[in-house]
Amino acid sequence: MDELDHVEFLPEPDDYRIVSAIDPAAVGFQGAWRAEVTGWAPLEAAPIQRRRHRQRLLTNSLIFSILVVVLLSVWNSGILWVELSLPDSKWANEQAQLDEAAAQGLTGEGVRVCMVDTGIDLTHDALSSVEVTFKDLREGSNTPIDYGLIAHGTLMAGILVAQNHQPGAAPGITLGVVAALGEDRNGENSGEESVVADSIRWCQDTFQADIISLSLGGEQNLDAQREGATASATRRAVDAGIFVVAAAGNDGGPDDDGLVSVPANIGRVITVGAAGQGNSIWSNSSLGSQILEDGSQRQDPHKKPEVVAPGVGIISTGSGNAWFSSSGTSDATVFVTAALALLLEAHPEYKPQPDGNGACIDAVKVALMNSVSPLHDAGIHDDRSGYGHLQAMNWIEEVTRTAPTC
C-alpha cells in the first residue's frame, strides 16, 4: 500500500513472525537498539560451588575398622565436614582504591543511585536486608524480581551493596532499581529502547537520583536521522546535572566497530571500559571514537571511554542464592558508580541541584581525568583505556584539592 511505502518493518523481539511498522522519521526510532543490548558477557559467568571433602581412610586392622565406623557415624550426623573458601575479587576494590575510601569511613551514605537493569532478587542472603525502591517497567511486578540471565541486575547490585562474603563498595547508598531488561529467546539480556528510556526518566523524575548506573547499551546507528529515545533521555538527565555512568560495550577485538554503546556515546556520560587484575585492559572492552556525528572532535574531559575499572572475574551475587564470576564492562561500570557515590558523599556540593545545568558533571569529570592511573602520559587519551584506570581516592582528593566551581 502506498501509505506504508515510507515505513520500515522491525521484528518483535519475542516473536520474529510479528513485525511492527516503524516510521524512521519518528522521534525515538533508532534501528538496531532493540536487537542487541551490550555491556556484559553472560557466557563467561560461572557459579562458584561449595564442596565437601570426605576423609578417606585405609583400613588394615580391627582398630582402623572401628575408627572408620566412628568417623562414618560422625560424618553422617553432619558434624564433620570441610567447606572450601569461596573465591572473591577483593583485589578489584584494592586496585581501584575503593578500599582506601572505605577506610576513610565513606559508604555512599546520602547518595541516591538508580540502576536500570534486569531487576533485583532480594532473596539472596547477601541482599536480604538491603532496602530498595523497586520499579518494574517490564511486566509491572509490585515486588522486586530479576528477569535476567543469571540475574544480571542482582549481580550488578551486589557489587554496590552486598553485605557478606564479597562486600559491596558503596553499601550506604540509597538504591533504586528499575527492571527494564530480561533474558530473550537468544539467551541474552535485552529490552525495548522505549522501556529503557522510560526507566531513565523514572530515575530522574520519580526516584530523584544523583547517579544513574547503566550496565547496558545498544549499537550506535550512524545512519539514523534522529537521536534515539534512550540517548535523548540520557541527555536530558546529564544536562540537568544528574551523573550517568554507562558501559562502553563488549565488542572489542578484531570485530570492534570502533564505537561505544548508546547511551555511553553521550558527551557528559562517564563511559567505562573494563580492566583485569594488574590493570591489563580486557580484550573485549570496546573502542571509542573521538569523532562526533557532525564530524567535529570530542574534547576533554569527554573523550570516549573516559576511564577503565575492574571488570574481569568479578565475584558477586547471582541467581539461586549463589555467587557468580562475571566479566564485562557492565561490572566495571558499577565500580565507577560506587567511586562516584563515595565522592558525592564526601562532596555533596556536586550533587544535582534543582536548577542544575551539567556544569558540575564537567568539573567532576575534569577531576576524574586528572586523577586516574594512566597507561600513557598523564592527560593523554587512548581509544580503549580512556584517560586511565580508576583511582577512587585520588579522584576524591583531586576534587578536595582543586575545589572546582560549577
How many residues comprise the chain?
Answer: 406
Strand residues in 69-226 grouped as ranges (E):
112-117, 132-136, 174-179, 182-183, 189-190, 211-214
Residues 187 and 182: their CA atoms lie apart, in Å, by: 10
Of the listed 124, 152, 165, 389, which one is catalytic?
Answer: 152
Of the listed 319, 325, 330, 371, which one is catalytic?
Answer: 330
The dihedral over CA atoms of 196, 198, 202, 204, expressed in degrees to the nearest 10, equals 80
The DSSP symbol for 291 reads B
* Residue in this structure with the C-alpha cell 576513610, named with its chain if needed: 104
The DSSP symbol for 105 reads T
All residues at 6 or more sequence positions from 153 whose CB lies less than 8 Å from its CB, including other chains:
115, 117, 118, 119, 120, 146, 177, 179, 181
Phi first, then psi: give them for residue 213, nearest 5 degrees: -105, 125
Q: Quick count: other Cβ atoms within 10 Å of Cβ 80?
A: 14
Confirm whether 330 is a catalytic residue: yes
Of the listed 89, 117, 198, 381, which one is catalytic?
Answer: 117
* Residue in this structure with the C-alpha cell 565500580, named with its chain if needed: 335
Q: Which positions are annotated as active-site residues?
A: 117, 152, 330
